[in-house]
Structure 1
Amino acid sequence: MSDDAIIDIRSLSLAYERGGQRNVILSNLDLSVARGEFLVIVGESGVGKSTLLRVLIGLARPSSGKVRLATRPGCRTPMALVFQDSRLLPWRKVVDNVAFGLEGSGLSRAERRARAEEMLALVGLAGLGSRWPHQLSGGQRQRVSLARALAVEPDVLLMDEPFSALDSFTREGLQDELQRVQAKTGKTVIFVTHDIDEAVTLADRVVVLAGSPGRVAADIRIDVARPRQRRDAALSEAAAHLRSELSRRSAEL
Structure 2
Amino acid sequence: MASVIDIRGLALTYERDGRRTEVLRGLDLSIEPGEFVAIVGESGVGKSTLLRVLIGLAEPSAGTVTVRPSPGREAGRLPPMALVFQDSRLLPWRRVIANVGFGLEWHGVAAAERKRRAQAMLDLVRLGDLAGRWPHQLSGGQRQRVSLARALAVEPDVLLMDEPFSALDSMTREGLQDELLRIRRETGRTILFVTHDIDEAVYLTDRVIVLTGRPAGIGADVRVGIPQPRRRRDPALAEIGRALRAELSQLSSEL
TM over 0.5: yes
**Relative to structure 2, which stretch is displaced further, 229-238 or 215-224?**
229-238
Q: Which residue is 1:51 aligned to?
A: 49
What RMSD over aligned residues (CA atoms) do the two structures have, in Å? 1.1
What does residue range 1-253 of structure 1 map to in structure 2 within 5 Å? Answer: 3-72=1-70, 73-74=73-74, 76-253=78-255
Letter matched to residue 200 of structure 1: V
Distance verdict in 2 for CA 1:65–1:165, change over 3 Å: same
1:4: Cα distance to partner?
3.2
Which structure 1 segments of 5+ residues have no match? none
Quick one: distance in 1 between partners of 2:167 and 2:234?
Answer: 25
Give CA deviations for 1:104-147 in whole Å, capped at 9, x if unaligned.
54533222111111101111112110111011000000000000
Letter matched to residue 232 of structure 1: D
Letter matched to residue 74 of structure 1: E
SS of structure 1 residue aligned to 2:101: helix
Q: How many equivalent residue pairs?
A: 251
Q: Which runs of 4+ in 1 moved over 4 A?
A: none
Letter matched to residue 166 of structure 2: S
Give CA deviations for 1:156-211 in whole Å, capped at 9, x if unaligned.
10000010000000000000000110111111100000001101011100000001
Quick one: distance in 1 between partners of 2:168 and 2:129?
Answer: 23
Give CA deviations for 1:39-68 in whole Å, capped at 9, x if unaligned.
000000111100000000000000000001
Quick one: distance in 1 between partners of 2:154 and 2:20?
Answer: 37
SS of structure 2 residue aligned to 1:91: coil
Quick one: distance in 2 between partners of 1:19 and 1:105?
Answer: 36
Quick one: distance in 2 between partners of 1:51 and 1:104?
Answer: 24
**Percent identity among equivalent residues?**
66
Which structure 2 segments of 5+ residues have no match? none
Quick one: distance in 2 between partners of 1:237 and 1:27?
Answer: 30
Distance verdict in 2 for CA 1:106–1:63, change over 3 Å: closer
Quick one: distance in 2 between partners of 1:237 and 1:225?
Answer: 15
Letter matched to residue 2 of structure 2: D
Quick one: distance in 1 between partners of 2:35 and 2:109?
Answer: 29
Q: TM-score, normalised by structure 2?
A: 0.96
Q: TM-score, normalised by structure 1?
A: 0.97
